[in-house]
Structures are given as C-alpha cells and as structure tokens.
A and B are shown apart, each in its own frame.
Chain A
Amino acid sequence: MDWYFILEKVALIIIIFAISLGIAAYSTYAERKIAAFMQDRLGPNRAGIFGILQPLADGLKMFMKEEIIPRTSDKFLFLAGPGIFMITALMTSAIIPWGGTLEIMGRHITLQATEIGVGILYIMGVVSLGVYGIMIGGWASNNKYSLLGAIRASSQMISYELAMGLAILAIVLMTNSLSLREIADYQTGGHMWNVLKQPLTFLIFIICAFAECNRTPFDLPECETELVGGYHTEYSSMKLGFYLFAEYVNMFISSAIISLLFFGGYHLPFESFFTNTLGLRGNWLTIVQTFNFFGKIVFFIFFFMWIRWTIPRFRFDQLMRLGWNILIPLSIVNLIAMAILKQVGIS
C-alpha cells in the first residue's frame, strides 16, 4: 500500500474542495458587485474594504436564521434535498484536471483527483443526478410553488441534456477521446482551440450549460416573479444556503468544463512559445498552467453573470421550443457535419 499516494490524493481533494467552496462564496460577492456596476450602482461596500467580507457576513446570516421545517412536508426528503444537490455539485470536480504534474521530493503528483478514461460520461451522469436534489426538495416541501419549480427544473434539465450530450459527442468525435485531460491535451501543439474549430458546437454547449445551471435566461425553476422562490420557497437557514451555494459551485464546475472542452483547459495559448523560447518547464510550467486555467474559469464565471444582467428570462414555452425544436435538430446536424468533415479529413 502506497501511503504517500493516499496522502497526496487526500490533500489534493481537500484543496479542490476548499477552492470550489471559496470560489463559490466569492462568486456571490462578484455577482452582487457586477450586478450593481452594470446598473450604475456601487454594490456591497460596507463589510471590509470594498465589501470584501460580504460573503462571510452572508454566511453568518444564513447560519443565524431560524430553521423552519413545514409540518406537512416529508421530513427526511426535505432534509435530504439540499444535501443531494450540494454533493452532486461537488462530485464533478473529482475528475477535472487542474494542471500538469508537480514534482515534489521525487514524487510526480498529477493535479487531478482521479483520472478516469470516460471523464465526459461521468460528468454527464453526475450532472443529471443534480436534478434529483431539486426534484426531491421541491416535492418534499408540499407547496405548489415548490412543486411547479421542481417540475420546471426537471423538464428543463432533461430536455437540455440531450442537446448537450450531442454537442459533447461532436467534440469527442474530433478528439478521439472521452478523457478530459486528453481533450485538453488535444488542443495544444499544432491544434487550435476547439472553439475556433467548432463554434456552433460551442454555442450549443454554452446555451445548454446555462440551462443546466438554472442561470438566467433559463432560471425558470426559481423565478421570483412567478413562483415566489421556486423549488426552495419553503427552505430557510443553511438549507436554503446550500441550494444557493450549490448553484454557484455548479457554475464554477461548468466554467471549468467549458474551458477544458473548448478553450484548451490548463494549456497556455501558444504553449510551445513558453516551453521552447522562454524555457518554462517542470513545476513552474505546471503552476503557470494552473493559474492560466483558473483565469479562464474566472472569465467564464464573469460571462455567466454578464449574461444574467443583460437578458431577461425566457417564457416556459419558448424555453421548450428552443430546446426541442431548435437546439436538438441543430446539434444533430452539427454532429453529422462534423462526422463528414472528419471522414473527408478536413479538420
């Protein structure tokens, strides 16, 4: 038994866990700040300098709130809902490659909790489990608004998963691999970023990613104007906090996956320039790559927020029409076109 191996994996998992939660916490701050700036306001600026301690204050508030469990709710499922949602949100981070390998005391540490050959399939599977958290929470609340929110969430997530899967298939076809690390590696050294090769696939994928994360313009499951709070209407205290928090974790993970699949992941743009001309290698290269990856992730989190504060919400029938009548045929045509292109040998 290689105890060091277990130790380094545990350390890595704890670090990834902490980073996911930290980024999710500061996403709430960034969201409020960006929303304010886009509306010509200042946003939170009282807790600490520039309001930098605002997430702590919000978290403390959530903990201090009274915990209310409706008498008519299904107690076990009501408590399980937020937990399931949070677990599924965090589980996806297990297979994301955060960088190359670090060499510490003669050991090669890969910056990835686990490398599995079918990474994409794992992600699709875990993401579809995420709908259970919302469904169970909404159903167990025994409240009309919650139930409507949960129904909307499940139908939306199921319909957009199809187009998402077909978009991912086009990428898999091109890169000949289901492993996230190999897809990221494919986009370096002679090959362009996938977004430049398959802009249509990227467009379909990012629309589906927005729908999967329940972000505006697809935030129907929790639209305040129609359903009070949607599936988390009856939730209070930290259980509500879990739902809100898990959503930001989801956003972080989808940003990571978007940058892995389409923007070269942790690989630097023009990496051969850095490695050959500047002589960047070993641990330094890995560190620069990891920072580069997080830079991309932060940009996509900003992009999510940018979209949110730009466009209004879809109507439910528009959402369904977009999913079934437009995105799915489009992604099938895209997939066939990519197959033909590959066979002809253009790409």
Chain B
Amino acid sequence: MISLTNRSKIVSNKVMTPWEKVYIFAILGGMWITLKHLFKRKATISFPEKTRAIANVWRGQHILKRDEQGRENCTACGLCAVACPAEAITMDAAERKKGEEHLYKEEKYAATFEINMLRCIFCGLCEEACPKEAIFLTDKLVTTDYNREGFIYGKDKLVEKMDNRIDISQRQKKSGI
C-alpha cells in the first residue's frame, strides 16, 4: 500500500528490555512532564467573570428585523422555511389591513412565525435565503428551558424590540439586494 499522507505509524508489539522494565526512569520522565504542567498557563476561563470572545460570524439566536420606522421586514414568503435543512421554521401569512401600515412594511406579513430551537442547527441558511433582510442570526445564546414547548420561539421572542435594537450590520449582505 502506498501511503499518501505519511502519517501512518508501524505498530509493533515489542518486548520491553530489562532497563525499561524497571519503570523507575519512565516514572521520573512522567513526573517531569507533570511538573512542567504545574507551572503552565491554565486553559480554564473563569466563566461568570470572564467570557470567551466570540467571532464576528458567530451564529446564535435569530431575530426578525424591523426597519427604521419600526415596521416588520418579513413578508412571509417562506423562503427561509424552504431553505432550512432542519425543518425548524414554520409561519402563517396574513394580509395587511388598512391602518396597519406602521406595523408591517409590505402588504403581506407573517401572522405567526415559529422557530423550533431544538431542531435548529444554527447553519444560517435562513439568513442567506431571506430576500427582505428580515431574519438574522445574532450573538445571543438560546437559553435553557424545562420543557420542549419552551424552545419553540414565536414572534414574541423573535421580533426585534424597538427599545432594544440589535446591530446586524456585520452580517448584512455586502452587495445589497
């Protein structure tokens, strides 16, 4: 067989020499290694005081964006649900009534919009599929819960709050729509 990687090792079942059988020297070698680790920098991050730095492209919990006037961008086209490989997204479309122009940007909107966070794999394909810049993944972590129902996030949890806007400029498509 031709080795392509040069990483394979030949394993042998060789018998130990009397020198090796004494073990003492192997033990001293091991003690030297543990002593070096005693003074090494520790890998632990003391969590509540310090948090691990996360990357710009980190994908956490989703939000449904509103525009500058506070109108929901989502038009319930369903492209995110189609793109979702985990079948985590579902929605119900409705028509915008007269007098609701300040709530929804276009004539069609999502009456319900649910993401099952237990199914979601945080791949970001919904974000990529969205033609209206409505759904984005943020750096927020999905919190734990006691029952499965709690992980189905509806519009109450997903739609961006106007008093607590989330900056997604890092994740916006560079070329525009």
Contact = CB atoms under 8 A, between A and B. Distances in A.
Nearest to B44: A42
A34 B42 contact: no
Interface string B22-42: 001001001101110110111
B56 interface: no
B43 A309 contact: no
A42 B42 CA distance: 7
B27 A310 contact: yes
Interface in A25-53: 34, 37-42, 45
Given A306-B34, A309-B34, A310-B34, A42 B27 contact: no
B46 interface: yes
B30 A310 contact: yes
Interface string B2-33: 00000000000000000000001001001101
A41 B44 contact: yes
Interface secondary structure of B, over-half rule? helix
A310 B31 contact: yes
Contacts of A34: 38
Given A37-B37, A38-B37, A307 B31 contact: yes
A306 B31 CA distance: 7
Nearest to B29: A310
A58 B169 CA distance: 50
A201 to B, nearest CB: 15
A37 B27 contact: no
A11 B43 CA distance: 47
A42 B46 contact: yes
A307 B41 CA distance: 21
A58 B30 CA distance: 31
B117 to A, nearest CB: 31
A311 B27 contact: yes
A307 B35 CA distance: 10
A203 B22 CA distance: 12
Given A34-B38, A310-B34, A40 B27 contact: no
B37 A40 contact: yes
B40 to A, nearest CB: 6
Nearest to A217: B27
Nearest to B36: A38
A47 to B, nearest CB: 14
A40 B34 contact: no
B125 to A, nearest CB: 37
Given A42-B44, A42-B46, A37 B38 contact: yes
Contacts of B33: 310
A40 B34 CA distance: 10
Contacts of A203: 24
A311 B37 contact: no
9 contacts: A37-B42, A38-B37, A40-B37, A40-B42, A40-B43, A42-B46, A203-B24, A306-B31, A309-B34
Interface of B: 24, 27, 30-31, 33-35, 37-38, 40-44, 46
Interface of A: 34, 37-42, 45, 203, 306-307, 309-311
